[in-house]
Amino acid sequence: MSYQALYRVWRPHTLKDIAGQDHITKTLKNALVQQKLSHAYLFTGPRGTGKTSAAKILAKAVNCRHAPAEEPCNECDICRGISDGSIVDVMEIDAASNNGVDEIRDIRDKVRFAPNTAAYKVYIIDEVHMLTTGAFNALLKTLEEPPPHVMFILATTEPHKIPLTIISRCQRFDFKRITSHAMLARMQEIVAADEIAVEEDALSLVARVSQGGMRDALSLLDQAVSFAEGTITKEDILAIIGSVSQEHLYELVEAVHSGSVGEALKMIDEMMQTGKDANRLMEDVIFLLRDILMVKAAPQLEESQDRLHGDDSFRELSEKLEQAWLFQMMEKLNHFQQEMKWATHPQLFLEMFAVQASQQTTALPASGESAPQSSTVEALEQKIVHLERTVQKLQREGVPAASQPQAAEQPVKQEKRSRNTGPSQKSRAVAKQVERMLEHATKPQLQQVKSSWGNVLEQVKKQSMPASAWLNDCQPTAASEEYVVLVFRNEMHRSMIDEKFRELVESSASQQFGAAVTLLTILEADWEKVKENFKKRQKTSPSGEDNEESGEEAPPEEEKNPLIDEAVRLVGEDLLEIKE
């Protein structure tokens, strides 16, 4: 005899072995003892919950030599005969392959004959949902009033496909998904009997992922026994189902929640590279969020206590996430999970989830609890941002103007001059500002600006189409906490944005980045120069000269620049050779 899978070996043979279906086993036991059996039963429920097993046990129990008793003895000749299929009075019919009217007619004809050896003729019709309409209807009369020695047991996973006329003629038993608690108990029994070494954690994980199907759980356990060397650990199970550890999940959820798409994408990439299953990951995230929701909603529940106990990072995470966010995420995840099942690139859905979910974080405050007021709130927010900016401007430019009239005059003059002398000069004036600002510019800031620049564009577009058209040509190239440098290729575009649409763009940007932002607009050519200068200074400053000195170094170049620029304008860059 070849090896038999655990779930076949451990198919329950008595009613008490059926895990987690007490409401059914109790009823059946009482019916058996009191001899109040119906002539037709319908067992329904999801896969792996014990329908077929219960049917087989019931067939044995009614025919057992020791009947009436709660359980079949599994020892008498009849019980054994039924088990090995040598007694023809118990017939197990696969309705999926014998689904025609003819097969049912055959049953109907033979029903009348008395049983051979056993007391009852029992017909177990499995997968009964596959019968054709004709077959169902042919069965109706027989099912309602069979001869006294006949019993029908119908079993199916899809009760909605069964005609109501059939259902109403049967005693219906709904098998529930087995709770992880009941599953755990049954598995422990099996593990102990089979002498399989397995960690407690691993078992509860198995119970969790098999979602109430005992057969799934035992299949997985079977694989784990083959996979593991020695004791089965949690890691073994994780490896087999292609799942990631809880810690990684926490990190992923946190990244998504904090809105860092880049990080989340990187994590997903890494997980996929190591051969994790995208579907499984999606499911894990859903379950994690569900757990957090549960802990938040009902912290006193036993299950939530269990979950919180001894898992600090879980507690931390659950405190960080808001309920509204969780609900939205669950909805999204469910949607994606549905789509994912049919897709050939499941990873992409994960990535899309990461992108969309991260967006949610930034959009949440506006669409949070006071949805009807959101537009007014938004308007107020904008106003505040606007005010903030003016205050900052005043602080920066207005206050020194009082103390140092010279310095205040200069920008005014510059501005005047720039208006008179033409556009490129203005850009250069900004260039100076840009240079100063570069000292504070940081890479992460720029990254943040770059990644949400699209949002700014969209917002601008909402308010003014022409503004967004002018903006199309530019690129953010540097950013500090209060400044964003925009590089334009075309002077016309630059000046339009600088003069006409500055307010609009700045307010959208400020809103997007959550802090007041001032725009510095500059032409591409000037930007290149500024960059060069800055790089030069960067190189020279570590070699002894400190910042102030390098600050002094800038002005002479500033002097020089207009001349060269003028020359460039006159004869073109190609013909010029600059000598110091």
Partner 1 sequence: MQTWSELSETQPTIARVLQNSVRRGRLAHAYLFEGGRGTGRRAAALLLARAFLCEKTVDAEPCLVCRECRRAESGNHPDVHRIQPDGQTIKVDQIRALKKEFSMRGMESAKKVYIIEETETMSAAAANSLLKFLEEPEGEALAVLITASAGQILPTILSRAQVMSFSPLPPDRVTKALVERGFREKEARTAASLTSDLEEAERMFDEEWISQGREKVVQLMNDLISRPQDAYITVHETIMPFFTDRQQIQTALDLMMIWYRDVLRMQVGQSDAVVYIDQEDTLTKQAFQLSQQKLGKNLQAVMDAKRRAGANVPPQLLVEQLLLRLQEGS
Does position 235 interact with partner 1 (CB under 8 A)? The reply is no
At closest approach, how far in Å is the CB of 449 from partner 1? 10
Q: Which one of residues 100, 242, 423, 551 is an interface residue with partner 1 (CB under 8 A)?
A: 242
**Binding track over 278-317 against partner 1, x by CB under 8 A:** -xx-------------------------------------
Tell me how far the alpha carbon of residue 141 is from its chain's centroid: 51
Q: Which one of residues 26, 110, 345, 489 is an interface residue with partner 1 (CB under 8 A)?
A: 345
At closest approach, how far in Å is the CB of 365 from partner 1? 16
- Structure-token pair, residue 573: 């860059």
**Binding track over 54-93 against partner 1, x by CB under 8 A:** --------------------------------------x-
Alpha-carbon distance values, 177 to 182, 209, 514 (Å)? 10, 13, 48
Q: Which one of residues 89, 222, 435, 526 is an interface residue with partner 1 (CB under 8 A)?
A: 222
Residue placing its CB nearer to partner 1 in the complex, 392 or 451? 451
Q: Which one of residues 340, 441, 467, 520 is an interface residue with partner 1 (CB under 8 A)?
A: 340
Please give the Cα distance from 67 to 517 (Å, whole number): 86
Please give the Cα distance from 459 to 507 (Å, whole number): 10
Please give the Cα distance from 500 to 466 (Å, whole number): 11
Q: Which one of residues 34, 300, 406, 472 is an interface residue with partner 1 (CB under 8 A)?
A: 472
83, containing H or E segment: helix 77-84
For partner 1, the binding residues in 133-172 under the rule CB under 8 A are 157
At closest approach, how far in Å is the CB of 227 from partner 1? 5
Check: CB of residue 362 under 8 Å from CB of residue 259: yes
Q: Which one of residues 447, 490, 538, 547 is an interface residue with partner 1 (CB under 8 A)?
A: 447
Q: Which one of residues 197, 324, 343, 563 is an interface residue with partner 1 (CB under 8 A)?
A: 343
Closest CA to 58 of 190, 171, 169: 171
Closest CA to 234 of 202, 203, 210, 206: 202
Could you count the other beta carbons within 10 Å of the beta carbon of residue 235?
14
Residue placing its CB nearer to partner 1 in the complex, 97 or 547? 97
Please give the Cα distance from 288 to 117 (Å, whole number): 55
Does position 53 interact with partner 1 (CB under 8 A)? The reply is no
Q: How many CA atoms lie within 13 A of 131 on its CB side?
A: 29
Q: Which one of residues 36, 195, 310, 342 is an interface residue with partner 1 (CB under 8 A)?
A: 342
Check: CB of residue 317 under 8 Å from CB of residue 253: yes
Does position 262 interact with partner 1 (CB under 8 A)? The reply is yes
- Structure-token pair, residue 378: 């938004």
Q: Please tell me what DSSP assigns to residue 232.
A: B
At closest approach, how far in Å is the CB of 210 from partner 1? 8
Neighbour order of strands in the sheet with 475-479:
475-479, 483-488, 518-523
32, containing H or E segment: helix 22-34
At closest approach, how far in Å is the CB of 30 from partner 1? 30
Stretch that binds partner 1, among 200-208, 322-330, 356-364, 566-574 (CB under 8 A): 356-364
Q: Token pair 């909805």 is at which residue? A: 331
Could you count the other beta carbons within 10 Å of the beta carbon of residue 492?
12
Does position 213 interact with partner 1 (CB under 8 A)? The reply is yes
Could you count the other beta carbons within 10 Å of the beta carbon of residue 362?
14
Stretch that binds partner 1, among 270-278, 395-403, 429-437, 562-570 (CB under 8 A): 270-278
Q: Which one of residues 19, 28, 44, 48 is an interface residue with partner 1 (CB under 8 A)?
A: 48
Cis peptide bond prior to 163, omega within 30° of 0: no
Q: Are strands 171-174 and 40-44 parallel, antiparallel or unpaired?
A: parallel
For partner 1, the binding residues (CB under 8 A) are 2-5, 8, 46-48, 92, 94, 96-97, 99, 126-127, 129-130, 157, 213, 215-216, 219, 222-223, 225-227, 239-240, 242, 261-262, 265-266, 269, 272-273, 275-277, 279-280, 339-346, 348-349, 351-352, 355-356, 358-359, 447, 450-455, 457-458, 472, 475-476
